[in-house]
Amino acid sequence: MEKTLCYIFASLVAILTSQKCCTAQLTNLATDQSSLLEMKAHIISDPSLTITTNWSNSSSVCSWIGVTCGSRHRRVTALNLSDMGLLGSIPPQLGNLSFLVSLDLTSNNFSGTLPQELSRLCRLKFLSIEENNFRGEIPSWLPFLPKLEYLSLRSNSFSGFIPKSISNLTNLYHLDFSFNSLEGIIPPEIGRLQRLQLLAIQSNNLTGIIPSAIFNMSSLQILAFRANGLSGNLPNDLCATLPFIQGIYLSLNELSGQIPSNLSQCSQIQVLSLDTNSFSGPIPAAIGDLKSLQILQLSGNQLTGMLHFLYKS
């Protein structure tokens, strides 16, 4: 009973904190401009001189390159600095962009850690910082972004464990932690993210089994855990519980047992990558019935039998 009350209390604190982040600070367009000028000050290299020359007090922040303002409130709603080759860090003042819905810093050279003040961006739906040099653990404040739908930390230097609290981001449809240095197990709690269409945690140092809850995420289209140290078997009813799956990327792990025999039910699958594991037993004949299959990788296992594919017209 005591544990239950503690859990309820912790949940209420989390809800109140996420609500408070939208109301705790009065901001306006001038605040947005000041925050972005602070961002500019933290950029130490701007190869195209885009930010250096365009972001200026002499023009409205809504006209700056990479900045989008909403038509209703005339506040900054999107910041897109992707593919600019920027070098620098993220200032805490970025958390003052209280109307921000989309933050895209993809393919730059930002480094350091993500400031906790970003937890105040509680309207945020899209967050991509992939292909940078961010480090540290996956931020514990991410679950305080209740509207987040798209989250990519791909290709950085994040380390440590995947926090169970990621499961609180119940609006997510895209989650990508690939190409980092994460360790430990895949939290079973991730299986609660029933809206996920893409779940990718490739090329990390994960160990243990793939939680059974992952195979019950019926909206999943891409499952990518390639190049880890995962072990255990795949459920035999894999395709029955993943009806919309299009890509399964599990190569370069330590998975074993037989390949599921009901693969013919994965009618939409285009990529089946299971090579370099320890699968054994016969190659399922059902693979030959996969009309949408484009890539099949089974080498580096202990499989027996032959493949018999139907010719496609």
Query: 61-75: per-residue pLDDT in tens?
Result: 999 999 999 988 889
Q: Are 216 and 240 spatial neighbours (Cβ–Cβ below 8 Å)?
A: no
Of 38, 29, 101, nearest in space to 59 by CA: 29
Return mean pLDDT, the chain.
90
The model's confidence at residue 204, banded by pLDDT at 50, 70 and 90, is: very high
The model's confidence at residue 301, banded by pLDDT at 50, 70 and 90, is: very high
Q: Coil, strand or helix: which one is 221?
A: coil
pLDDT of residue 5: 40
Q: What is the DSSP letter of 117?
A: G
Sign of the torsion formed by the C-alpha atoms of 65, 68, 69 and 75: negative
pLDDT of residue 246: 98
Residue 21 pLDDT exceeds 70:
no
Close Cβ partners of 197 (under 8 Å, ≥ 6 residues apart): 173, 174, 219, 220, 221, 222, 244
Close Cβ partners of 152 (under 8 Å, ≥ 6 residues apart): 106, 127, 128, 129, 130, 174, 175, 176
pLDDT of residue 307: 73
pLDDT of residue 8: 37
pLDDT of residue 22: 54
pLDDT of residue 174: 98
Q: Which residue, chain included where needed, has tokens 């909206």?
A: 219
Q: What is the DSSP letter of 134?
A: E
pLDDT of residue 27: 73
Q: Coil, strand or helix: which one is 258?
A: coil
Residue 2 pLDDT exceeds 60:
no
Close Cβ partners of 74 (under 8 Å, ≥ 6 residues apart): 29, 62
Tokens, residue 148: 């987040």
Q: How many CB atoms lie within 10 A of CB 300?
A: 14
In whole angstroms, give the CA distance from residue 124 to residue 161: 24
Q: Are 211 and 188 spatial neighbours (Cβ–Cβ below 8 Å)?
A: yes
Q: Are 259 and 268 spatial neighbours (Cβ–Cβ below 8 Å)?
A: no
Q: CA distances (Å), 291 to each of 198, 294, 298, 308, in order? A: 22, 9, 18, 13
The model's confidence at residue 309, banded by pLDDT at 50, 70 and 90, is: low
- The angle formed by the CA atoms of residues 159, 97 and 137, to the nearest 5 degrees, is 5
Q: What is the dihedral of CA 285, 288, 290, 291, to 10 degrees?
A: -160
pLDDT of residue 16: 46
Q: What is the pTM of this model?
A: 0.90
